[in-house]
Structure 1
Amino acid sequence: MPQLKHFPLPDVGEGLTEAEILDWKVKPGDEVTVNQIIVEIETAKASVELPCPFAGRVTELLAESGQTVEVGTPIISIDLDPSGTAAEAAAAGEAGESNGRVATLVGYGPRTGASKRRPRKGAAVAAPAPVEPVVPEPAPAPEPATAGGFVPLAKPPVRKLAKDLGVDLHGITGSGEGGVITRDDVQAAAAPAAPAPVAGARERRVPIKGVRKATAQAMVDSAFTAPHVTEFLTVDVTPMMELRERLKSHPEFRDVKVTPLAFAAKAVCLAARRTPDVNASWDEAAGEIVYKDYIHLGIAAATPRGLVVPKVRDADRMSLRELAEALDALTTTAREGRTAPADMTNGTITITNVGVFGVDTGTPILNPGEVAILAFGAIRDMPWVVNGQVVPRKVCQLALSFDHRVVDGQQGSQFLADVGALLAEPSMAITY
């Protein structure tokens, strides 16, 4: 007998309430094993692949790609009897498939354990004739959206285009081979069906959700909760850049990409020792300032999904080499959209590297729960006065925003000056 089990959407982060179904890795009729990846979802913090908690045969997908689902809602139905003897025999009898064909394609054939949420259009009530005619083609074209219960056939880039343009794939008949939806299909569906557009009225609308929604809310909460103060400092970082060149030939650093950001990260960790206030947090509910004896360093990263801030855990305990390796792994994972939600929580202080975009400086907004964020600007060749002479030097600008409830002007200035001194003369590190 079939032993149907529903798998509800879990909370893959800390208190997440919903997620969007990005891409199913299985379809009805597929056999699945424990810990097999069955679906990719997007939360407010990251893209996550979910493993199956049990083994069996997929009977129904209860959520469609592009659908936003609340945590706890069943998303897939699985028959825990992988042999499927009773269920398969019953399904074959209902469908009249005396030729032994088993319907395993999405949108085709009878369903065992079908949910009331997805009634089968035109399903036979009781008749000896087949519910659907048996066709010789191995992959029938997908049914229209009104059939329910199927996943539109489209490649991930096409799904992303549809998402960006606000197009529902379920309303599109694919023109590609086997009914696959193409980019042209999506763009055609996105084109207005109204009369010729009025000049100047060209626009597109994208739903506010996922990372963008979470980031927007966090920035609003931060901007209108913490009193921000921003200070600026221009630094001659020529000695730092010279040290970076020397490290390239050092045996310990030959296989490591030491970026200017790694030096900035090390400087922040060292400077925070002398000004622990920048590595604290404001607990409004408890009426307390919480000082951290560790640094979980956030690195703001621009990704195709929006701004994310993954953390380097215990960055203050790392050497320069370890920081360089951690930063390289962190940014690569973030750009691929594979940062785990847990890796984007509980930060204590953040660096935003605006210099990679050729930007000199800015006024960064604090991440909620933190009281300081450093903007690290582009390093440029500029005229600089050295020993009374104007000479070309490597120069960058730093900007520090801090929560004035926790960090006073003297403390913020001291921390920013210390970071600048360490970048201007890395040998000063031995004095910290």
Structure 2
Amino acid sequence: MPSLGADMETGTLVEWLVKPGDFVKRGDIVAVVETQKGAIEIEVYQPGQIVQFLVDLHSKVPVGTPLALIRTEGEAKAAAPPPLAAAAAPMPAPPVIPQPAAAVMPPPARPPVPLPAAAGVAARKAASPAARRLAEERGIDLSAIAGSGPGGAITSTDVERHLAAAAPPAEAKRPLGLDLAAMRVAIAAAMARSKRDIPHYYLQHQIDVTPCEHWLAARNATLPPDGRLLIGALALKAVAVAIARFPAFNGFYRDNKFEPSAAVHVGVAIAIRGGGLTAPALHDADKLSLDDLMSGMRDLVQRTRAGRMRSSEMTDPTITVSSLGERGVEALYGIIYPPQVAIVGFGKVVTRPWVVDGAIEPRSVVTITLAGDHRVTDGHAGALFLAEIGKLLQEPEKL
């Protein structure tokens, strides 16, 4: 049972998407687990063959409990029987030593003993080769099956009918969904821990995003609605790229030390209708094109609001970005989600008087905020980080 967040202690296994004997590779979705945040699709990180399930469906178990056994490719080879050695050449028969004729005494004559019939031959039921092969594969005793073929012979259809009758009824799938009350409890626990354990500092920075709006208008003019970029994609990409220069904001604080992350997995804060909130990750956001980033954001929002998230998306975020601009809020000050060390907030784009080349002009301005962990960074580093994000947003065509 994976840990799907700092606030998760247990999970409930609600569905297996594989069966024993199946081969899986890294990234395959193998199960669905219900947590306080909803139904999470569990991905596998070890390629191999599913050997055995260790937890029954609808069992609630602690984080770290083994759910299944997987035989790796190396283990499968080790478990395979060694190839049979070539059959040994037959030993020559010992030479017969002739005896004198007078010394040969013939054995007493015995009546012939009839050989017993082969066990089970008389009782063996007639069956087609296909039926015998299927029964052998499934471990079925043919004597328990009534045949419908000529002379009462058992056909493969008879074996399949027997298997269907013996199979347990399919278990009805429990409907999955978001328990918003439980999610609120989980959020409260995580945020209380964050404010108790993490020494937050807050900064804000106003940025002229008029160049972004002009560039987006020109780019989106000829595109259909589902192919257009939103300014949120530019903001997300700017944060991801700025992280490369300021890696101290990208990683985790665990065991009294900071662990920087080589990958940039940006958590996207998503509001769920009814009051829930979660922040699944967009993996390698710094390497994605703007189109791929926009597509990934849409996919995350749709699946999250449907209550179908993936385990890697819940465990991997290295920094979180939140925005309440669409709600009309001009600035937000986030709470760091442990064990991360920073969260960046974007407010609403508003029109403000702005000095450009010595003249006052109406410009589109957005307020960016940073909540940082003072155990890892300070206000000086935070100010440079926000300034870098602003600089990148001045040249959207380079993102």
For the criterion TM > 0.5, the same-fold answer is: yes
Cα deviations across residues 75-106 of structure 1 (Å, max 9, x unaligned)? xxxxxx999999xx9xxxxxxxxxxxx99999
Map 1:31-430 → 2, pairs under 5 A: 41-48=33-40, 208=182, 211-249=183-221, 256-285=227-256, 288-304=257-273, 306-380=276-350, 382-387=351-356, 389-423=359-393, 425-426=394-395, 429=398
Counterpart contact for 1:228–1:402, Cα < 8 Å: yes
For residues 73 and 400 of structure 1, do their structure 2 counterparts lie closer, same or farther at Cα, with a shift above 3 Å needed? closer
Question: How far is the alpha carbon of 1:47 from its aligned partner?
Answer: 0.4
Deviation at 1:373, TM superposition (A): 0.8
Structure with higher Rg: it is: 2
Shift, 1:214, TM fit:
3.1
* Residues 46 and 341, structure 1, Cα contact 8 Å, conserved in 2: no
| Counterpart amino acid of residue 34 in structure 2 | E
Displacement of 1:364 in angstroms is: 0.3
* Distance of aligned partners of 1:325 and 1:19 in 2 relative to their CA distance in 1, 3 Å threshold: same
The 1:340–1:46 alpha-carbon spacing in structure 2 relative to 1, beyond 3 Å, is farther
CA contact (8 A) 2:279 2:314 kept: yes
Deviations along 1:221-268, one digit per CA (max 9) or x if unpaired, are: 2211111011112222111111111111478x9863311111001111
Q: Match for residue 5 of structure 1?
A: none
How far 1:291 moved relative to its partner?
A: 2.8
Kindly state the Cα deviation for residue 215 of structure 1 after the two structures are TM-superposed. 2.6
* Whole-Å separation in 2 of the counterparts to 1:418 and 1:50: 36
Aligned in 2, Cα 1:357/1:103: closer, same or farther, shift over 3 Å?
farther
**Percent of matched pairs sharing the same residue:** 30
**1:185 alignment partner in structure 2:** none
Cα distance between partner residues in 2 of 1:396 and 1:270? 19
One-letter amino acid of the counterpart of residue 331, structure 1: V
1:325: how far off? 2.0
Deviation of 1:279 after TM superposition, in Å, equals 1.8
Equivalent residues of 1:298, 1:310 under 8 A apart: yes
1:307 & 1:258 partners in 2: Cα distance?
23
Find the residue that maps to 1:361 and give its secondary structure: coil
2:263, 2:284 within 8 Å by CA — same for their partners in 1?
yes
Q: How far apart in 2 are the matches of 1:338 and 1:362?
A: 27
How far 1:311 moved relative to its partner? 0.7
> After superposition, what is the alpha-carbon deviation per residue over 1:113-157, rounded to whole angstroms, capped at 9, x for unaligned?
xxxxxxxxxxxxxxxxxxxxxxxxxxxxxxxxxxxxxx9x9995x
Q: Is the alpha carbon distance of 1:82 and 1:330 closer, same or farther for their aligned partners in structure 2, counting shifts above 3 Å?
A: farther
List alignment gaps of at least 5 residues for structure 2: 24-28, 44-49, 69-135, 145-164
Structure 1's unaligned 5+ residue stretches are: 1-9, 26-31, 56-61, 75-80, 90-101, 107-150, 165-205
- Contact 1:63 1:69 (C-alpha < 8 Å) held by counterparts: no
Q: Which deviates more, 39-48 or 358-367?
A: 39-48
TM-score (norm 2): 0.59
- TM-score, normalised by the number of residues in structure 1: 0.55
Distance 1:334 1:41 in 2: 14
Aligned partners of 1:48 and 1:104: how far apart in 2? 29
CA distance in 2: counterparts of 1:68 and 1:378, whole angstroms = 42
State whether residues 234 and 396 of structure 1, in contact with CA within 8 Å, keep that contact through their aligned partners in structure 2: yes
Instruction: Supply the AA of the counterpart residue of 1:226.
Output: I
Q: Is the 8 A contact 2:41 2:311 kept in 1?
A: no
Shift of 1:218: 2.0
- Alpha-carbon separation, structure 2, partners of 1:236 and 1:294: 29
Whether the 8 Å contact between 1:41 and 1:47 is mirrored in structure 2 is yes
Cα displacement (A) at 1:320: 1.9
**Aligned AA for 1:284?**
D
